[in-house]
Amino acid sequence: MKYLLTSAGIKNPSIHDALVDLLGKPIAESSALCIPTAIYPFSIGPSMAYRFISGTTASPLTELGWKSLGVLELTALPSIKRENWVAPVEEADALLVFGGDVLYLCRWMRESGLADLLPSLRETVYVGVSAGSMVTAPVFGETYDDPNTPFVIDKGLGLVDFALLPHVDHKDHPESSMSKVERMAAEVPVPTYGIDDETAIKVVDGTVEVISEGHWKLFTP
């Protein structure tokens, strides 16, 4: 599988070009499935899920002009025939994984069976936003604006061999200051990228490339 792990979607021309390069063809000739599941634990979950699907969030992804676009709801998958959802996933050029609660997303990636299928999708492009990117790590950390619980570390899906923390130094995410990321990264046993909303991590066959029109930093354990 190929990965484009973003903080806030396709925010600039460099990240857009990286997506087209991974697809190997124009977006207008590509099919995608979007996954809104991670946003449900929040009170704004229902409205944000709709906005993500309809392409009206601040994280450009579904509105890029895909040839076809469908919705893959992870919480529904265990209750339907496996072949009925595996076939559309295997046929899609890209999976668009929205942000939200990374622990909740990780749980449903596993319980749905999608996590087991992903490594077999050699040509599919996984495009993550925020938690949708974080969940791919072998071990992920998430910072909080709480002095008693400054960060939480948990086991991820292990689809890539590093961790990342999005929204670094964003005015609406004070919990994700670079200094907090550095403290959290010291507790994570894999390399950790702190990335802002103008940055993405591109991974092909284990080769990592940082795509950025903003700022980022790599912390090693």
Outline where 2-44 has alpha helix (H): 13-23
Tally of CA atoms within 13 A in the half-sphere of 3 that contains its CB? 29
Find the largest Cα–Cα distance for the chain.
49
Decide: pTM greater than 0.85: yes
Name the residue among 125, 57, 56 with its Cα closest to residue 96: 125
24 C-beta neighbours (distance < 10 Å), count = 12
Whole-angstrom distance, CA of residue 104 vs CA of residue 221: 26
Looking at residue 184, its amino acid is M
DSSP code of residue 151: E
Tens-digit pLDDT profile for residues 16-70: 999 999 999 999 999 999 999 999 999 999 999 999 999 999 999 999 999 999 9
Domains of the chain: 2-219 (3.40.50.880)
Q: What is the pLDDT of residues 13-25, one digit of tens each?
A: 999 999 999 999 9
